[in-house]
Amino acid sequence: MTSSYCIVIPHYRHLRPLSAMLPKLARFGLDVFVIDDASGEAVSRPLQAEIAKYPNIRLIQRKENGGKGAAMMTGLRSAAGHGHSHAISLDADGQHDPDAIPELLQRSQAQPDSLFSGRPVFGEDIPAARLYGRMLTNCLVQFVTASRMVPDAMCGLRVYPLAHVLPLCDAIGYRTRMEFDVEILVRACWAGLDVQTMDTAVTYPQDGESHFNLIADNARLVAMHALLIMGGLVRLPRTLWRRLGRRVAAR
């Protein structure tokens, strides 16, 4: 099967940084799916005008706001529906450098059955609360997967092999907001999917806008981690058995 790659960007009211990113993405010659998560007409109209400048970029508008995970799943399913085998994802807020895409693409083409995820290299601009929150999340992810395969579970710069990842989306259920990035990687590990990482620079623009709700989204993350911990304990014997089989096969 010939691989076909595209780019998926979940978007909610990030008109300025996304508009600045579009010409950089267009030059790669890949189809780009911008998923607008019901940002409203004040955002969608000027965004449509910007996107109309680029024949390989299309806007998909969700009728109701469902969160980043819902937008990502809409984008992944749209990518598969248009015949693509892989989707490169990155955030719309300007944190990720589009120049990292060619290397991600090259690595994925060499190992098309693997899921590739960015491993952030932070500068001094990262807020301390986010740094420590990531550290806690990453420790919990390594615990529930019984491995160090995922050193960072929150970076949105990734390459998803759609045939392997789309079935995992069905298990996520109502957890369609900020939980998605973490849970989809955990479920990929549970399913035995090979997860690879690549160092990538992540910046926090001074005028950047985050839609992370300190109370609501942290509560959702706590609930998700509780479910994943229970799931990880149930799957632990199978996880360890699979790992033992790989070690034996590698000898």
User: Per residue in 33-71, pLDDT tens?
Assistant: 999 999 999 999 999 999 999 999 999 999 999 999 999
Residue 31 CB partners (closer than 8 Å, separation 6+): 6, 7, 56, 57, 58, 79, 82, 84
> What residues pair up with 88 in beta bridges, in sequence order?
7, 159
Percent helix, strand, coil in the chain, to 5, is 50, 15, 35
pLDDT-based confidence at residue 117 (cuts at 50, 70, 90)? very high
> What residues pair up with 122 in beta bridges, in sequence order?
202
pLDDT: which is higher, 4 or 125:
4
Percent of the chain's residues with pLDDT above 90:
67
Going by C-alpha positions, the residue among 76, 108, 78 that lies closest to residue 89 is: 76
pLDDT tens figures, 71-97: 999 999 999 999 999 999 999 998 898
Strand runs labelled E in the chain: 5-11, 31-36, 57-61, 86-89, 115-122, 158-161, 195-202
Percent of the chain's residues with pLDDT above 70:
90
pLDDT reported for residue 209: 63
Mean pLDDT, residues 92-109 taken together = 93
What gap in Å lies between CA 251 and CA 246, rounded to an integer?
9
> What residues pair up with 121 in beta bridges, in sequence order?
201
pLDDT: which is higher, 246 or 102:
102
Q: In the block, which residue shows the tokens 């990292």? A: 100
- Does residue 247 surpass a pLDDT of 80? no
Strand runs labelled E in 37-114: 57-61, 86-89
pTM: 0.90
pLDDT: which is higher, 53 or 203:
53
Q: Tell me the average pLDDT of the chain.
A: 89
- What is the number of other CB atoms lying within 10 angstroms of the CB of residue 145? 23
Q: How far is CA 114 from CA 30, 95, 158, 195, 200, in A?
A: 20, 24, 11, 6, 18
